[in-house]
Chains A and B, each alone.
Chain A
Amino acid sequence: MSNNLDALYQEVILDHNRKPKNFREIENADRRVDGRNPLCGDQVTVWVKLDGDTVSDVSFKGTGCAVSKSSASLMTAAVKGKSLSETKQLYDKFHDMVTGKMTDAERAQMGSLAALGGVSKFPLRVKCASLAWHALKSALDDGGEVSTEGDT
C-alpha cells in the first residue's frame, strides 16, 4: 500500500500542488465554468480562451486537495495549444487512465499527465482528479456548472 501512496503523491504532483501552473483568471475568456464536488466541498473554476478551433489559453482557480489541484494544473499545461477535438480525446484518455482502464504502455504515452496514473489505485480520489477535467469539458461543450455527482 505504501508503494501506492508514493505513486499517488509523486514529486510532480507535490510540485504542481505547491506551485500550480496557470492558476489565474483569464479576463477576456470565451468560456468559464465552475466545478464542484459536493461530497467534499472542493471547488474549481476553469477559464478557456479560444482561437478558432484551438484552445489558445486555459487557466483555473479554486480550492482542493493536492490531487485535484495538481490535476487541474497539469491539465492546463497539457491542453494549451491543442485543438478542440484533441482536447476532448485527451479528456477521454485521462478518464480511462484514472479509472484504471489503461495499460502501462498506453499510460506511458500520456506525457506529464501519467503522473496522475497512481490515482487509479485510490477509487475514492478519482473524483478529485477529474473535477477540473469535467469543468473543462463542460466549458468546451458550452455547458453550465458541473458537479462530480453527475457521471464520473
Chain B
Amino acid sequence: MSKRSSAKRQQLNEGLKRPSVGHTLPRAPEPPPVSPRRRDFPMLAANPALHYLDSAATSQKPRAVLDALRSYYEKDNANPHRGAYDLSARSTQKYLDARERVADFLGVIDTATLIFTRGTTEALNLVSTAWGRTNLSKGDEIIVTGMEHHANFVPWQQVAHATGAKLKICPLTSDGRIDVDHFRKLLGRKTRVVAFSHVSNALGTINPVADLTELTRDKAKNAIVVIDGAQAAPHMRVRFDELGVDFYAFSGHKMLGPMGIGGLIGRRELLEAMPPYQMGGDMIEFVGDDKTTWNVLPHKFEAGTPNVADAVGLAAACDYLDAIGIDVVRAHELELLKLMTEKLGAIPGVKLYGPADLSLRSGVVSFNVGDIHPHDLSTVLDQEGVCIRAGHHCAQPLMRRMDVPATARASVYVYNEPADVDALIRGVLRAKAMFGAHAV
C-alpha cells in the first residue's frame, strides 16, 4: 500500500468514528485503498466509497481524456477548415488526427468513411433517414430484433411508417439471444435492412455479428446490415473492415471519451450514394442560388462547426484503452462478470437474465430481487454508494418480451474491482432485509 493511500485510509477511519445514526445492519467495511487504475479517474480517486456500476449508461473519464480536452481549448482552439491562419490549421490537424486515431482503434482503413456524430443515436438516425428514406418503399422489409435499444428500433419503425416498408422483429431465445433459426426465416428478397446490436445494452448478450451478416448476404442480397455498436466498441476488439457489415454506430462517452461525440462508420459506396443528413456549413462544395453540390466524405455528413475538442478527447480515450489493451479490458470485465453472477446467483430470490454462458456476455448483469422493484433496490443501493441502472433500459420491446416491467442492471468497466461487487451484494442483502422475506 502506498503512503498516499494509507493517509486516505486514516482519513476514512476518522470519518467512521462519527456518532452512529442508528444502523441496524453492519456498516460497510472501509473502502480499500485507491487502486492505481482508479487513481487514473479523478471521479473515482476523489470518491473512494463510490461503487460505479453503470458504465453501460456512461463511463467515467480518465485524467488523460480531461487533460486532452483542456489542452485543446487552451492551445489549439479555432474553427477548423475555415481560417487561413496557423491556429485554424492546427485545429484542423487535431481533428484529422483524432479521426485517424479513432478509425485505427475500430479497424477502419478508409478513414474518411468514419463520420463523427453526437453519438450512436445520431449515427443510427443518419442511416435510417439518409439511406432509408432514399432506398425504402412499400413492400420492402426491415428486420430488427426484440433486444434493440430504442435508438436502433424507433428510427426504423418510423422510417417504415414514412416509406410503407414493413418492420419485422426477430424473436429471442428464452435466455436472451437472437433466435438464429427464426432470423434465417425472416430473410428474403424483400429484406432491405437488417439492424441489430453488437451487444445488448440491457442483457449484455454478444450477438454473432459475422455469422448473422453472412446469413444476410446469402439469403437477402438486397439488404444492408446496420450494427449498433454502442455496447461493444468500449469493451471488445472491433475491426469494422473484418466484420463485413455496411454500417457501424458507436458512442464515445461509453468508451471513456467525452459526451457528445461518437460516430458512424459506413461503406464508401453507400455513403457516397446517400444524400446528406443535415445541411449547412462545411458539408457543401458549391452553393448556387438554387442548387448546391456536396463536399466529399466525411464532410458531406458533418454539417456545421465540428466537435473538435470531443473528437480529440475520444482519441485520447482510444490511447488509454490501447495502452491497457482491449483484450485485457475484456478479460478483466469477464472476471468481474463471473464474480457478480456467482454472488448474485447465490442469493435466494435473485433472478438473473441473459445467457448463462458468460463467454456470450459483456460485463452486464440484468437481474431482479424477488418482488422488490428495481427503483426501490436502486435507492437502497445508492445509500451504499452503489450506482446501478434501474428501469427498462430504453428497451421497452425487450421488457415486454421478457414479461417484466423493469430490471436492475449492474455493468462494469476497466476501473471496477471486486470491492464494487461486494458493495453491490451488501446493498442487495440490505434491500432484502428492508423489504422483508415476503418480497422473495
Task: Say if A and B assemble together.
Answer: yes
Q: Which residues of A contact B (CB under 8 A)?
A: 1-3, 5-6, 8-9, 14, 18, 39-43, 63-67, 69, 122, 124-125, 128
Chain B residues within 8 Å of A9, by CB: 376, 380, 434-435
Nearest-neighbour CB distance to chain A for B234, whole angstroms, equals: 24
Contact check: which of A6, A64, A124 meets B373 at CB < 8 Å? A64
A1–B396 alpha-carbon span in the complex (Å): 32
A40–B406 alpha-carbon span in the complex (Å): 8
Does B435 contact A66, Cβ atoms closer than 8 Å?
yes
Chain B residues within 8 Å of A39, by CB: 391
Instruction: Report, as a range, how many residues of chain B touch the other chain.
Output: 20 to 34
Does A128 contact B438, Cβ atoms closer than 8 Å?
no
Task: Please give me the residue from chain B that is nearest to A43 by CB atom.
Answer: B405
A14–B373 alpha-carbon span in the complex (Å): 12
Contact check: which of A3, A18, A42 meets B405 at CB < 8 Å? A42
Chain B residues within 8 Å of A2, by CB: 21-23, 383
B15 interface residue (CB < 8 Å to A): no
A60–B376 alpha-carbon span in the complex (Å): 20
**Beyond A3-B21, A40-B392, is A65–B380 a contact (Cβ under 8 Å)?**
no
A144–B22 alpha-carbon span in the complex (Å): 46
Nearest-neighbour CB distance to chain B for A55, whole angstroms, equals: 28
Chain B residues within 8 Å of A64, by CB: 373, 375, 405
Chain B residues within 8 Å of A69, by CB: 373
Nearest-neighbour CB distance to chain B for A114, whole angstroms, equals: 20
Contact check: which of B374, B380, B390, B438 meets A5 at CB < 8 Å? B380
Task: Please give me the residue from chain B that is nearest to A39 by CB atom.
Answer: B391
**Beyond A2-B23, A41-B391, is A65–B383 a contact (Cβ under 8 Å)?**
no
Q: Which residues of B contact A (CB under 8 A)?
A: 21-23, 372-376, 379-380, 383, 390-392, 396, 399, 405-406, 434-436, 438
Given A3-B21, A5-B383, A42-B375, list of 4 further CB < 8 A pairs?
A1-B383, A9-B376, A40-B391, A66-B376
Does A122 contact B379, Cβ atoms closer than 8 Å?
yes
Nearest-neighbour CB distance to chain B for A35, whole angstroms, equals: 14
Task: Please give me the residue from chain A that is nearest to B23 by CB atom.
Answer: A2
Chain A residues within 8 Å of B399, by CB: 41
Does A125 contact B375, Cβ atoms closer than 8 Å?
yes
Does B22 contact A41, Cβ atoms closer than 8 Å?
no
Task: Please give me the residue from chain B that is nearest to A1 by CB atom.
Answer: B383
Chain A residues within 8 Å of B379, by CB: 5, 8, 122, 124-125
Does B392 contact A41, Cβ atoms closer than 8 Å?
yes
Nearest-neighbour CB distance to chain B for A17, whole angstroms, equals: 8
Chain A residues within 8 Å of B436, by CB: 14
Task: Please give me the residue from chain B that is nearest to A5 by CB atom.
Answer: B383
Task: Please give me the residue from chain B that is nearest to A6 by CB atom.
Answer: B22
Which of A6, A41, A42, A122: most chain B CB closer than 10 A?
A41
A26–B126 alpha-carbon span in the complex (Å): 47
A63–B373 alpha-carbon span in the complex (Å): 9
29 sampled A-B residue pairs with Cβ under 8 A: A1-B383, A2-B21, A2-B383, A3-B21, A5-B434, A6-B22, A8-B379, A9-B434, A14-B436, A18-B438, A39-B391, A40-B375, A40-B406, A41-B399, A41-B406, A42-B375, A43-B405, A64-B373, A64-B375, A64-B405, A65-B373, A66-B373, A66-B435, A67-B375, A67-B376, A69-B373, A122-B379, A124-B379, A125-B379
Chain B residues within 8 Å of A5, by CB: 379-380, 383, 434
Chain A residues within 8 Å of B405, by CB: 41-43, 63-64
A1–B390 alpha-carbon span in the complex (Å): 20
Chain B residues within 8 Å of A122, by CB: 379
A9–B375 alpha-carbon span in the complex (Å): 12
A123–B391 alpha-carbon span in the complex (Å): 17
Task: Please give me the residue from chain A that is nearest to B435 by CB atom.
Answer: A14
Chain B residues within 8 Å of A124, by CB: 379
Nearest-neighbour CB distance to chain A for B396, whole angstroms, equals: 6
Nearest-neighbour CB distance to chain B for A127, whole angstroms, equals: 10
Nearest-neighbour CB distance to chain A for B212, whole angstroms, equals: 28
Which of B379, B392, B438: most chain A CB closer than 10 A?
B379
Chain A residues within 8 Å of B435, by CB: 9, 14, 66
A138–B380 alpha-carbon span in the complex (Å): 32
A42–B23 alpha-carbon span in the complex (Å): 31
Q: Identify the 7 closest CB pairs spanning chains A and B, nearest first.
A: A65-B373, A65-B375, A41-B392, A63-B405, A40-B391, A66-B376, A65-B376
